[in-house]
Amino acid sequence: MMPPVRLSKSAERWFLTKIAELADVNPAAARNLIDRLERQKGLLSSFPRSTERGLLEGTRKVSMPPLVLTIRERNGIIEIAAIRDARQRDAFAPTELRDALYDEETDDQEKIDDEPAEPRF
């Protein structure tokens, strides 16, 4: 059975913001990018380890121009933990890492604390 692929909350927020910006300029390009992400999710479900290792332990980097996806396996799920523009620097910025870790902790609980989770290394 192939593992499901999902976006973390922070990756989904980032992607939806970028799609909304792109749709204002070029709706067809926005639809195309959504379709490409859906196809990429299918490939990741079938071949989650076929991409290069990421800079952070347990992550992999997926090139999907003009985007780069950071993925990880978590509880039998392939998670797209972060999405960034390919022109941005590699790996997580500290706030993106904090957001990804915070998403991980709040996925399993209903209550969201006011304080962000501290990064774990």
Provide the domain limits for residue 50.
5-87
Q: Is residue 109 part of a domain?
A: no
pLDDT in tens, 19-35: 999 999 999 999 999 99
CA distance 3 to 74: 10
For residues 76 and 54, which has the higher predicted lDDT (pLDDT)? 76
pLDDT in tens, 57-106: 788 889 999 999 999 988 889 999 999 987 766 544 545 555 655 555 55
Q: Tell me, what's the pLDDT at 15?
A: 96
Q: Is residue 113 part of a domain?
A: no
Query: The CATH number of the domain where 61 resides is what?
Result: 3.30.2310.20
